[in-house]
Structure 1
Amino acid sequence: MFPPVAIRELVANALIHQDFTVTGAGPMIEIFDRRLEISNPGEPLVDTRRFLDTQPRSRNEKLASLMRRLNICEERGTGIDKVVAAVELFGLPAPVFERPPGFTRAMLFAHKAFGEMDRQERLHACYMHACLRYVTQEPVTNASLRARFGVADRNASTVSRVLADAVGEGLIVVSNPAAGLRSRQYLPFWAQA
């Protein structure tokens, strides 16, 4: 149900970024009917909304180096990029990264068709798509988001509403405001000039 590369990267992140000063807790993987949760002790060192683009910062550099030598991770900071790309390829809802007090949690969700996603799931997937496209230096367009959601061309207006809502919520911005609606491109909010 979940991309193996996404599980591998999230488990490696939970191990590498755990806070060893927290006693009585360790990385945990929980499997539910329609989701997978991977958590570790220690709050993230960067904003969870910026996991995809921020340069890596590790609490445990020696552990990260060992895991790189064992070919478990690359130690390049591209793990979350791989997670989001694999999730999009599998057509799954976007992964969610949370910061409960004292912990970091990553969640993967079972497949949901576009019509089954609620507004927040659609907006989050749009934002994560924009982040991934930005780091791969590709523009976000109505067409790219339709492909991500598996929405037919004839339903472009449905995806236009998601893009407009994401702009309204401040998750993404229009990168070329002078362009017509059909040729607009979008960026994550933090990438605007």
Structure 2
Amino acid sequence: MKKREILLLMAITGLLAACGTAEQPGAAPDDWEAKPFAETNEGDFIYRLAAESDSFKAGGPISMYAELEYTGERDSIDIYHAASPFYFHLHEKTRDFEVPYPMNEPLITTTLIKGEPLREQYRGSGGYAQEDPEAYQEFVQGVMNGRFPEGFYEVDGSANFYTGNPEADKTDYDIHAAIRFKVVE
């Protein structure tokens, strides 16, 4: 009986210790540093991703945008993309929660004028399955409603489009840039 009680006590202690090591919202990952602006050049295009600040208030929205600028030799160029060429994939680092950025996929043509960036403001994102943990569902619901919970966020933004004729000279682009910001009480 004594041996069984000791094993039970060790198991409970192990479980409690494991629960206490999980990162809590507000605890910065070791390698975390704010980076509210990023820019990537690819071919004749510049992709920019920016947050209006490196810190936002918990429970409120965040202000973030993406830009795509054509810098080639022509006066303009047509790009072909889904509902938008811009994607905003969120990752909250302390909870290790990823928030998807689903999008309708019609084929849309946008004409970019040389030197005039196409800009799109982030408008929220998310989605979850009924089987996902309740904490994740609540987190994503907050993000979807513009109420960002406290935490450390990394955004892998991208511009996904193609140029040219799919039958002849099609060129695919998937340009990425990453930014980081925090949401605090």
Normalising by the smaller structure, the TM-score range is: under 0.3
Higher helix share: 1
Please tell me whether Structure 1 or Structure 2 has the larger radius of gyration of its CA atoms: 2
Larger RCO (CA within 8 A; separation ≥ 6): 2
TM-score normalised according to structure 1 size: 0.20
TM-score normalised according to structure 2 size: 0.20
